[in-house]
Amino acid sequence: MAEGKRGATRRGRKRRVAHAGDAPFWKRKTLKEMSQTEWESLCDGCGKCCLLKLEDWESGEVSYTDVACRGLDHTSCQCRFYTTRKQEVPDCIVLKPAMVARFSWLPRTCAYRLISEGKDLAWWHPLVSGDPESVHEAGISVRGRIQSETDVDEDGLGDHIVTWPE
């Protein structure tokens, strides 16, 4: 088949030949090059970043718990007060493109982490599947597996360490 924008198929119909400009934005742009809308759409809605984590001060190892920030809606896995989250939860980390590489605690499935590492999005990511429920249906999200920090004694967080976020 000749190179070009269009090429013949076996049945004589024309098909479009993909070019770099046709690739989805996450394959064409770095995190820093993305618009705010593109950046926000990378969030798959899994809720893992909103889990309370424990860090071993000596090793730096981070462990996830099944305890979620009080702002996380347990059904939608979205923040209930996203636009005012820093006011509501002062220690909430508002992720920015320049910060991603420093946050090794981001789950391996996190789109921000994947893109920063030069990897592609998984089939269940809503930008790939076209369905915001696919992250939940694939069992990737925290839906149905968490409790609120308001229901757990902070001193007992070590009893809530889980391995499933990765």
Residue 118 CB partners (closer than 8 Å, separation 6+): none
Comparing C-alpha atoms, which of 54, 81, 84, 86 is closest to residue 67?
54
Domain count, the chain: 1
pLDDT, the chain, mean: 87
Q: Do the domain assignments include residue 109?
A: yes
Q: In 3-state terms, the chain is what percent helix, strand and coil (to 5)? A: 35, 15, 50
Query: Does 12 reside within a domain?
Result: no
Distances in Å between the Cα of 128 and the Cα atoms of 105, 111, 135, 165 are 24, 11, 11, 21
Tokens of 88: 């509501």
Q: What is 49-101 written as a DSSP string?
A: GGEEEEE-TTT--EEEEEEE-TTB-TTT-SBTTGGGHHHHSTT-----GGGGG
- Say if 13 falls within a structural domain: no
Q: How far is CA 147 from the centre of its chain?
A: 20
Please determine, for residue 6, whether its predicted confidence score (pLDDT) is greater than 80: no
pLDDT category, 98, cuts 50, 70, 90? Answer: confident
Kindly state whether residue 15 falls inside one of the protein's structural domains.
no
Mean local confidence (pLDDT), 87-108 = 89
The reply to whether 22 falls in a domain is: no
In a domain, 16, yes or no: no
Range of the domain at 130: 29-162
Let me know if residue 4 belongs to a domain. no
When pLDDT is averaged across residues 109-131 and rounded to a whole number, the result is 95
- pLDDT tens by residue, 31-89: 999 999 999 999 999 999 999 999 999 998 999 999 999 999 999 999 999 999 999 99
Q: How far apart are CA 161 and CA 67, in angstroms?
A: 9
128 part of a folded domain:
yes
Please write the tens of the pLDDT for every residue from 23-37.
Answer: 999 999 999 999 999
